[in-house]
Amino acid sequence: MKVTVWDTYVTKKDGSVMHFDIVAPEEVKDTTIIYGYGKEYLKTKGQEGQPLTSKECRRCHVREIQPQWEADIKKQGYFIIEMENCN
């Protein structure tokens, strides 16, 4: 299975910047869905309501799925790779 990686930078409520990747099946091209995945994730981090648009989230590249991503993608449609300031 191929997936698309969406490079995402969101300004947190404290002013620092969260960097994470949203990984979704390649066929999911509707940015409304991708941004929805990001907003779901932000809720889990206490950052609901923070802007997440094309300014914060951009399609980066397509790659083969990693085995550790597969369960989350099958369950919820996406996987998050936490990069920086995601605590």
At residue 55, the pLDDT reads 95
Q: Give the DSSP letter of residue 74.
A: H
Q: How far apart are CA 57 and CA 37, in angstroms?
A: 11
User: What is the distance between the alpha carbons of residues 19 and 56, in angstroms, rounded to a whole number?
Assistant: 10
> Residues 17, 84: contact at Cβ < 8 Å?
yes
Q: Which domains does the chain have, with CATH numbers?
A: 2-84 (3.10.510.10)
In which order are the strands placed within the sheet that holds 17-25?
A: 57-64, 2-11, 17-25, 79-84
Look up the pTM and report it: 0.95
Which pLDDT belongs to residue 69?
97
pLDDT at residue 5, rounded to an integer: 98
Asked if 2 and 64 count as a contact pair (C-beta separation under 8 A), the reply is: yes
**Segments of the chain with pLDDT less than 70:** none
Phi, psi of 46 (to 5 degrees): 70, 25
pLDDT of residue 26: 97
- Position 42 scores a pLDDT of 98
